Structure 1
Amino acid sequence: MSETILVTGAAGQLGQRVIHHLIETYKVAPGKIVAATRSPEKLAKLADKGVIIRKADFDDAAGLEKAFAGIDRLLLISTDALDTPGKRLAQHKAAVAAAVKAGVKHIAYTSMPAPDNSLVTFAPDHLGSENAIKASGIAYTIIRDAWYHDNYLHSMPHNLQGGRWYSATGNGKVSTISRDDCALAIAAALASGTSESATYTLTGAASLDNRQIAAIVSETAGKPLEVIDVNDEQLGQGMRGAGLPGFVADMLVSADANIRAGNFDIITEDFTKLTGKQPQPLKDFFVAHKAALTTVGTGEH
């Protein structure tokens, strides 16, 4: 494959894993990969492997156009600008406009499941970004990543310590997938050389409610874990009381509400379509990350 692939957010966890799979799993030549980030100094190890490093700041439109010059296939990993409403969508729109000016041939974008039918606070960012890409006239691959297995590692050590998991999901189910599996599927799409436009939703193979998830956590950690049902307001108050910023608490409450409404109860075979593999089950993920699951204060961020 002679295409040049650029990955934004290359210093982030998803970006790092996508580049890993492009090189190691799909054998893309490092010299055909451009890793873009606000902080190029963080990518010295990739530079040593022969990956091209470029500075890309989503708040600098002219800089983005320069970064995207000569790129065939652009992976736009959604930014983490969630503290200011509307900022992330503005950044993504600037990146799409820069891609058009730079003559990029294909845009891949990391979205979320069913953003047009979602209670999650950041869903409009994803929907607006998808629409901007579709309106650009550039061929696209939209990859809607389900809730990560990895997200549970933030709160579960604390929950296990007290033996209680406060949840507003009710009987709602969610199909989760590991971040690494998402990276594998994204890398597969980037390496495929496709010129078709397509949308994929990456999920696990099973949809579980929080009591089923708690049972898996409990069995893996060897500690009891009881799910305590609370309403949205109680959950938000508890999170703020634990010191989480308001926008983070609101986001997590909205995610629980989205699960409760059944909007994350989606299972597809898109992961297998892209990779030819089966997604890692949640139980296997927890077993593999048992140390992180049972150690308070070291959740993988």
Structure 2
Amino acid sequence: MTIAITGATGQLGRLVIEHLKTRVSPSQLRALARTPVKAADLGIQAYAADYDQPQTLAAALAGVDTLLLISSSEVGRRAAQHRHAIDAARAAGVRRIVYTSLLRADTSALSLAGEHRETEQMLKDSGLAWTILRNGWYTENYMGSVAGALAGGVLVGSAGQGRIASAARTDYAEAAAVALTTAGHEGKTYELAGDAAYTLDDLAAEISRQSGRTIPYRNLPVADYAAILAGHGLPQGLAEAIAGWDADASQGALYDDGRQLSKLIGRPTTPMSESVAAALKA
């Protein structure tokens, strides 16, 4: 069996490959990347594959049994890019696609959900076997705020008292490796999230505990939080999107208590405190 991984040189892709290498021979793995030279350190075969150049996908997928389709990073272009990948997989004779979607993509208020819903439907209409991994928030999404909180003496956001059931990126990567290499996952959709939910007040308290400083959480209107993010150099559109996702979190968009992730990987998910400790050392 040959397993191909799209986005192999990205943050999630690299972690998936490391988990896969503990489960199958590296000779069974194939890294798909726009720039294969960036995959040289992965220790597996690398192929050029660009969502926007379907002919590269056809060559890269020849002889592949199972494809991990890691969702494209280009929000707004994802659906078309994923269609190219699914069409190429079908033409190449790929048997199953495992797709990294979004927590409760079918009902989520997050602006990211639409393209995931489209892709899920494409998979179901493709005639191929499929597994959908609806990934919740990565704890790392909030760890980028730790340095700024320490510098400014306050953690800011717009999530109110919304509970966030995030998990470390490596937890989701391990789930993908399990779904790719063990039986019983075809036709299944998994809602993946961390075991223990927290609020941004809780995150501020944990930063305070580990740093030895008092770092409060300050909840802001969405426009004010977006303005702060933009002031730190983020593009205006991205700043507004991040602030909007926080507002959605305040309404429960990032909360889940099903513990399907820890069940899939056979261990508890990484505690938020461990991620804070890593961020403080960075």
Q: TM-score range by the shorter chain?
A: over 0.9
Match of 1:15 in 2: 13
CA distance in 1, matches of 2:261, 2:219: 32
Residue in 2 that maps onto 1:89: 79
The yes-or-no answer on 1:80 pairing with 2:73 is yes
* 1:143–1:200 contact (8 Å) kept in structure 2: yes
Residue aligning to 1:68: 61
Structure 1's consecutive aligned runs of 4 or more residues displaced over 6 angstroms after TM superposition are none
Quote the Cα distance in structure 1 between the aligned partners of 2:80 and 2:9.
21
Number of residue pairs matched by the alignment: 282
1:39 paired residue number: 35
Superposed CA RMSD: 1.4
Of the candidates 185, 195, 199, which is equivalent to residue 205 of structure 1? Answer: 195
Question: Unmatched 5+ residue regions in structure 2?
Answer: none
CA distance in 2, matches of 1:115, 1:258: 13
- Please, what TM-score do these two structures have when normalized by structure 2? 0.95
Deviations 1:156-215 (A, max 9, x none): 101121111222111111101000111111111111144621111221111111111111
CA positional deviation for 1:39? 0.6
What amino acid does structure 2 have at the position aligned with 1:99? A
What SS class does the counterpart of residue 179 from structure 2 fall into?
Answer: helix
- Cα gap change, 1:188/1:109 in structure 2, threshold over 3 Å: closer, same or farther? same
8 Å CA contact 2:5–2:32 kept in 1: the answer is yes
Q: 1:174·1:209 contact (CA, 8 Å) conserved in 2?
A: yes
Residues 223, 240 of structure 2: 8 Å contact kept? no
**Could you list the per-position Cα deviations for residues 204-256 of structure 1 after superposition, in whole angstroms to 9, with x for gaps in the alignment?**
11111111111112112222211112111111222222221122112201211
Structure 2 counterpart of 1:201, one-letter code: E
Q: Out of 11-20 and 119-128, give the one that drifted further.
A: 119-128
The residue type equivalent to 2:274 in the other structure is: D
Question: Equivalents in 2 of 1:289, 1:154: separation in Å?
Answer: 8
Unmatched runs of 5 consecutive residues or more in structure 1: 293-301
Give secondary structure in 1 for the equivalent of 2:150: helix
Return the offset for 1:153: 2.3
Deviation digits for residues 270-290 of structure 1 (CA, Å, limit 9, x no counterpart): 222222111111112222443
Partners of 1:252 and 1:195 in 2: how far apart? Answer: 32
C-alpha deviation, 1:121, in angstroms: 2.3
* In the alignment, structure 1 residue 231 sits paired with structure 2 residue 221: yes
Could you tell me which residue of structure 1 aligns to residue 102 of structure 2? Answer: 112
CA distance in structure 1 between the partners assigned to 2:106 and 2:191 by the alignment = 13
TM-score (norm 1): 0.90
- Structure 2 match to 1:297: none
Identity %: 36
